[in-house]
Amino acid sequence: MNKEFYDIKVLKQDGSLVDLHEYEGKVLLIVNTATGCGYTPHYEGLQAMYDEFKDKGFEILDFPCNQFKDQAPGTDAEINQFCSLKYHTTFPRYKKVEIIGENKIELYKYLESKAPFKGKGLTISMLKKLSGAKDNEVRWNFTKFLVDREGNVIDRFEPTDDMNKKVLKRVKEVVEK
Q: How far is it, in rounded angstroms, from Cα 141 to Cα 71?
A: 9
Range 63-93 burial, b when 16+ CB lie within 10 A, else e:
bbbbbbeebbeeebeebbebbeeebebebbb
Active-site position among 11, 18, 37, 154: 37
Q: Can you tell me whether residue 18 is helix, strand or coil?
A: strand
Is 83 part of the annotated catalytic residue set? no
Q: HEC string of 81-142? A: HHHHHHHCCCCCEECCECCCCCCCCHHHHHHHHHCCCCCCCHHHHHHHHHHCCCCCCCCCCC
Looking only at the bridges linking them, the beta strands covering 144-147 and 153-157 are: antiparallel
* Residues known to be catalytic: 37
